[in-house]
Chains A and B, each alone.
Chain A
């Protein structure tokens, strides 16, 4: 039954989205026509109306049953999967209505309307029950997490409070911590994740589509997006790429990322991930598409741009000036991470004239007695740091501390005292290390960390010229990247000053009126200009 409904609604969606593309105002008119629509007394009509507004999503449940009255009445209860508490539904709605209905007396049967009201009053054991005539309010109630009871021949919908409250098992954000913001994070269960998003975007526009990937694992995948905001062609592309995945098992969302990314052999990710529902909410309203994968507490977001990796969720809960500073610090950190060790090598082995005299003398003084060239020295220390970091990440917390003490004492202090490395190199490596952690999302900085080694080698052979060459290759690679057709380097290239307001700087929320034209084709206005 459900399958059929889905196919019907999909056809409807296709028609609708085509209309949307032709005419951006079409969605608005259809929305206002729903506002005026009343609940009819025909059950099928009501179900169809609701399906046309919500039916795109796969987590809407239409539960058909018959009320065991005499004569029996056809009824449907509509709700969103996982937003409601199924136990309450069973015990207070389904069981009382399908079994042992306390039937109204025979004389009351003449007035159907009164009799149904009577029936509900006697049988529904819920605390909150509300009769609704208007379809738009019906939709609202469904999205809030209430169940809607529709009865054939009865032109009133009954909203029954079944909401679960906040999902029981949402986790605490561990990789994307926010000081002032919500502490919620996604969990391994995909249906809870969907519910978290449903709670944050209570609009019928939020579409939740379900897929199954992996021939053996049969992993449930849910694609979420905002219907009238997300670019329909990108949505189509996402489904196409997902449908092309032909593998036996999906282990986690990272596996899906590898299959759908634009540059499968590239050093940098063209998909973004987040574990924060509030971040996903913000990105969906920017016109992005989220992919929730069962078993992973991270949600994939496409299309991704370079700025995403420098934006931290906490930015939006802090003072805009400070957040802007933080963001610029992140970008500067990226440059420092990629180029600082290389510049040190080039400066000390080729371009001593470029270093201010006193600094040159100090570096020369501290390097006196170091037995190998600056390149080997820097490379050794960078490797030592990477090893230390890896050890610290993999080991349990307590052992990790021991590793850092050993690293700080033995590698840091003793190596300098023994004259094996110069203090200047320690400072360079430490600065690089610190700035590699200023970027909130590691998968982008991982690429830069590798590029750093290439740059160091080039600097050791060719000096500044080598760094320029390395930088140019890096830049060309980044500029050629696209994520689902969207240039990866926006807002830098193509230069988009309007988008820089939110993606490079952090303007106050009220100052950002439109969505990025690179991501969204219609429904550009976010809010009216004040």
Chain B
């Protein structure tokens, strides 16, 4: 009996001591880092600015909008070093698990992301769901320090806006997980959204942050930006297009707005006589969300006309995006290499090293099949 008891006690003690769970810290002693901005100084040091939430201001009633967060910056040889240097300043222990936005300065992005991402992945605290942005302005700190009258922390604003990208589908935001995946694979090319501050609409309002065009990378080095139409084409091909609008004009100057409900692109790679080609088949379902008729009285139209025109508009969008990729940037930012490598793994091994060149010479054929399910739901069938 006694022996059994001692044995049990031993087992319990071992079980309790081998947990490696000794990292007890009170929630109110943590500095919640919601945003990180990374840039480089003239002396080639990394300059890191962190955006800390100020919980007591968040809970307090009617606190000024600037008080819900505070910014701390520091410099260091690496990103991690810079963050550790912050502990010399910070009143609280930095806590990265709730990191929402990582803003990387344009100039740093041009040099490559590999060096920066390393720390964020290797540190166990950072979660891979935080989103990555490219700052297109001089100072990343100023970009993050954009208070708003709603009392939201700028990093949260970025994260909310990024979650809603589907409403326009003109941009695309990568999370840290995707970033790491791309950076670790030499063939893949990275894309993510860039941010700028806009002029404030009125003098009373503060200048807001804005997600703008998609940044294009050659693997991990920033090369350029897409315009909105190319951005939509990019989202169609990579199956990231959500419920955004397509607007076009008919022959009679009537403007039609189509709200896309479903979109599915099927990419079929081909390898024939040493020549790489792709078949992109896009199937789109949508409805007529808005129609501004120029005619008086009842104006009817054939839905098939609208569909065929929509086909054409979408094909043009896709074509434009592909042309930009092949001719302007010569970068496969759609990552068509994924589809190709899955179908022709052996051939891909040979082509891998020079894939961007292969891609820009590839023959890409686009077919679009769209369906307009219904017009807007009022009795005038979309007319006012």
Asked if B58 contacts A361 (CB within 8 A), the reply is yes
Choose among A361, A368, A369 the residue with the greatest number of B CB atoms under 10 Å from its CB: A361
Asked if A357 contacts B27 (CB within 8 A), the reply is no
Give chain B interface residues in 13-33, CB to chain A under 8 Å. Answer: 15-16, 19, 21, 23-28, 30, 32
Which residues of chain B are near A357, meaning CB under 8 Å?
32, 34, 98, 100, 156
Give chain A interface residues in 355-401, CB to chain B under 8 Å. Answer: 357, 360-370, 373-374
Which residues of chain A are near B224, meaning CB under 8 Å?
none
Give chain B interface residues in 38-65, CB to chain A under 8 Å. Answer: 53, 55-60
Is A465's beta carbon under 8 Å from chain B?
A: yes
| Cβ contact of B55, chosen from A348, A353, A364, A460, cutoff 8 A | A364
Alpha-carbon gap, A368 to B27, bound state (A): 9
Asked if A349 contacts B21 (CB within 8 A), the reply is no
Asked if A352 contacts B30 (CB within 8 A), the reply is yes
In the complex, what's the smallest C-beta–C-beta distance from A194 to chain B, in angstroms? 44
Which residues of chain A are near B53, meaning CB under 8 Å?
361, 364
Is A462's beta carbon under 8 Å from chain B?
A: yes
Asked if A361 contacts B32 (CB within 8 A), the reply is yes
Which residues of chain B are near A348, meaning CB under 8 Å?
26-27
Asked if B32 contacts A364 (CB within 8 A), the reply is yes
Which residues of chain B are near A461, meaning CB under 8 Å?
16
Residue of B at shortest CB range from A363?
A: B27
In the complex, what's the smallest C-beta–C-beta distance from A283 to chain B, in angstroms? 37
Asked if A353 contacts B127 (CB within 8 A), the reply is yes
Is B138's beta carbon under 8 Å from chain A?
A: no
Asked if A465 contacts B98 (CB within 8 A), the reply is no
Alpha-carbon gap, A363 to B58, bound state (A): 10
| Cβ contact of A465, chosen from B21, B24, B25, B30, cutoff 8 A | B21
**With contact pairs A353-B98, A353-B125, A361-B58 given, residues A462 and B30 touching in the complex (Cβ less than 8 Å):** no
Alpha-carbon gap, A218 to B107, bound state (A): 95
Give chain B interface residues in 78-124, CB to chain A under 8 Å. Answer: 95, 97-98, 100
Asked if B55 contacts A350 (CB within 8 A), the reply is no
In the complex, what's the smallest C-beta–C-beta distance from A255 to chain B, in angstroms? 29
**With contact pairs A350-B21, A352-B30, A368-B28 given, residues A469 and B58 touching in the complex (Cβ less than 8 Å):** no
Alpha-carbon gap, A350 to B27, bound state (A): 8
Alpha-carbon gap, A369 to B59, bound state (A): 13
**With contact pairs A348-B27, A353-B125 given, residues A365 and B55 touching in the complex (Cβ less than 8 Å):** yes
Alpha-carbon gap, A276 to B98, bound state (A): 54
Which residues of chain A are near B25, meaning CB under 8 Å?
349-350, 352
Asked if A353 contacts B97 (CB within 8 A), the reply is yes
Choose among B16, B24, B32, B60 the residue with the greatest number of A CB atoms under 10 Å from its CB: B24
Choose among A347, A353, A460 the residue with the greatest number of B CB atoms under 10 Å from its CB: A353
Asked if A349 contacts B28 (CB within 8 A), the reply is no
Is A463's beta carbon under 8 Å from chain B?
A: yes
Alpha-carbon gap, A380 to B22, bound state (A): 23
Asked if B27 contacts A469 (CB within 8 A), the reply is no
Alpha-carbon gap, A347 to B100, bound state (A): 20
Asked if B19 contacts A465 (CB within 8 A), the reply is yes
| Cβ contact of A373, chosen from B26, B59, B97, B125, cutoff 8 A | B26
Asked if B56 contacts A365 (CB within 8 A), the reply is yes
Asked if A374 contacts B56 (CB within 8 A), the reply is no
Which residues of chain A are near B26, meaning CB under 8 Å?
348-349, 367, 373-374
Which residues of chain B are near A466, meaning CB under 8 Å?
21
Residue of A at shortest CB range from B96?
A: A353
**With contact pairs A349-B26, A353-B127, A361-B32 given, residues A368 and B97 touching in the complex (Cβ less than 8 Å):** no
Which residues of chain B are near A462, meaning CB under 8 Å?
16, 19, 21
Residue of A at shortest CB range from B98?
A: A357
In the complex, what's the smallest C-beta–C-beta distance from A351 to chain B, in angstroms? 9
Asked if B23 contacts A350 (CB within 8 A), the reply is yes
Residue of A at shortest CB range from B156?
A: A357
In the complex, what's the smallest C-beta–C-beta distance from B59 to chain A, in angstroms? 3
Which residues of chain A are near B21, meaning CB under 8 Å?
350, 462-463, 465-466
In the complex, what's the smallest C-beta–C-beta distance from A258 to chain B, in angstroms? 23
In the complex, what's the smallest C-beta–C-beta distance from B25 to chain A, in angstroms? 7
Asked if A366 contacts B59 (CB within 8 A), the reply is yes
Which residues of chain A are near B97, meaning CB under 8 Å?
352-353
Asked if B127 contacts A374 (CB within 8 A), the reply is no
In the complex, what's the smallest C-beta–C-beta distance from B294 to chain A, in angstroms? 48
In the complex, what's the smallest C-beta–C-beta distance from B245 to chain A, in angstroms? 30
Alpha-carbon gap, A369 to B28, bound state (A): 8
In the complex, what's the smallest C-beta–C-beta distance from B364 to chain A, in angstroms? 42
Alpha-carbon gap, A27 to B56, bound state (A): 75
**With contact pairs A462-B16, A462-B19 given, residues A367 and B28 touching in the complex (Cβ less than 8 Å):** yes
In the complex, what's the smallest C-beta–C-beta distance from A469 to chain B, in angstroms? 7
In the complex, what's the smallest C-beta–C-beta distance from A23 to chain B, in angstroms? 46
Which residues of chain A are near B16, meaning CB under 8 Å?
461-462, 469
Which residues of chain B are near A365, meaning CB under 8 Å?
55-60
Which residues of chain A are near B56, meaning CB under 8 Å?
365, 368-369
Alpha-carbon gap, A350 to B16, bound state (A): 15
Which residues of chain A are near B60, meaning CB under 8 Å?
365
Which residues of chain A are near B98, meaning CB under 8 Å?
352-353, 357, 360
Give chain A interface residues in 314-353, CB to chain B under 8 Å. Answer: 347-350, 352-353
In the complex, what's the smallest C-beta–C-beta distance from A279 to chain B, in angstroms? 40
Which residues of chain B are near A364, meaning CB under 8 Å?
27-28, 30, 32, 53, 55
Which residues of chain A are near B19, meaning CB under 8 Å?
462, 465
Alpha-carbon gap, A352 to B56, bound state (A): 17
Asked if B59 contacts A362 (CB within 8 A), the reply is yes
Q: Which 7 A-B pairs have the closest CB atoms?
A: A365-B59, A353-B97, A365-B55, A364-B55, A367-B28, A348-B27, A368-B56
The interface of chain B, by Cβ under 8 A from chain A, is 15-16, 19, 21, 23-28, 30, 32, 34, 53, 55-60, 95, 97-98, 100, 125, 127, 156
Q: What are 14 A-B contacts defined by CB distance under 8 Å? A: A349-B25, A353-B125, A357-B34, A357-B156, A361-B55, A362-B58, A364-B27, A365-B55, A365-B58, A365-B60, A368-B55, A373-B26, A462-B16, A469-B15
The interface of chain A, by Cβ under 8 A from chain B, is 347-350, 352-353, 357, 360-370, 373-374, 460-463, 465-466, 469
- A sample of 15 more A-B contacts (CB under 8 A), given A363-B27, A363-B55, is A349-B27, A352-B27, A352-B30, A352-B98, A353-B98, A361-B32, A362-B55, A364-B30, A364-B53, A365-B57, A373-B26, A460-B24, A462-B19, A465-B19, A465-B21
